[in-house]
Chains A and B, each alone.
Chain A
Amino acid sequence: ETGVTQSPTHLIKTRGQQVTLRCSSQSGHNTVSWYQQALGQGPQFIFQYYREEENGRGNFPPRFSGLQFPNYSSELNVNALELDDSALYLCALRGQGLSNEQFFGPGTRLTVL
């Protein structure tokens, strides 16, 4: 158990809708990243937040946005959902110190119909 929780576990939406996914941990981690994992693929980096500011972004359009709160919980928002957005969405918290070990949550399975 990594102590990282994500909600909801599963979600079904239709094209054009908006979705908010959530991530939290029992201990404070000031760096949170979000990844998208399509079926049969490795996770793809969406963006990263450090102290409530986005400080890195992968090749994802602006309709993917995020927030990090003072208590270090985080949200991933996706607008105008497309069928290809169907995937497992993972948040990851960076370990302390210089190591870049990441602690992943169990993920949210999003299905877009």
Chain B
Amino acid sequence: SQQGEEDPQALSIQEGENATMNCSYKTSINNLQWYRQNSGRGLVHLILIRSNEREKHSGRLRVTLDTSKKSSSLLITASRAADTASYFCATDKGSARQLTFGSGTQLTVLP
């Protein structure tokens, strides 16, 4: 079963605009990660935020985490056509620390 749910399911923006994707989850977590996937290929790790952190930055990426609302957001600033991909949040739980993924947001950046 999916732990997280991304919102929106699909997002289309113009190059240069900012893109915001949201993720909600159901149970307590160790940390939350965001991954990117280009058209059915492997996932690439973008950023990890620990449960005791509220905000984290990496280049054009900004991630927030609200554990009281069990939600996270990923902001991509000054988007580029190359940012077109599916974005997944994944929570880390369980003794094996397996990742539980949401269903993803398909981002399309138009040139």
Binding site for B on A (CB under 8 A): 2, 4, 33, 35, 40-45, 48, 50, 55-59, 88, 90, 92, 94, 99-107, 109
The docked-state distance in angstroms from the alpha carbon of A88 to that of B4 is 20
The docked-state distance in angstroms from the alpha carbon of A99 to that of B30 is 10
> Does B100 lie at the interface of the complex (its beta carbon under 8 Å from any beta carbon of A)?
yes
Q: Is B41 within 8 A of A58, CB to CB?
A: no
- SS class of chain A's interface: helix, strand, loop or mixed? strand
A to B CB contacts below 8 Å, 15 in the list: A42-B103, A42-B104, A43-B43, A45-B98, A48-B98, A58-B98, A59-B1, A100-B31, A100-B33, A100-B92, A102-B33, A104-B35, A104-B43, A105-B42, A106-B41
Q: Is A100 within 8 A of B30, CB to CB?
A: yes
Q: Which of A2, A59, A102 gathers most chain B CB within 10 Å?
A: A102
Q: Is A102 within 8 A of B99, CB to CB?
A: yes
For the complex, count residues of B whose C-beta is within 8 A of A. Answer: 28
B42 — which chain A residues lie within 8 A by C-beta? Answer: 2, 4, 90, 104-107
Binding site for A on B (CB under 8 A): 1-2, 4, 30-31, 33, 35, 40-45, 48, 88, 90, 92, 94-104
B44 — which chain A residues lie within 8 A by C-beta? Answer: 2, 104
A40 — which chain B residues lie within 8 A by C-beta? Answer: 103
Question: With contacts A33-B98, A45-B100 known, is A101 near B43, CB below 8 A?
Answer: no
Q: Is A101 within 8 A of B102, CB to CB?
A: no
The docked-state distance in angstroms from the alpha carbon of A66 to that of B31 is 27
A58 — which chain B residues lie within 8 A by C-beta? Answer: 98
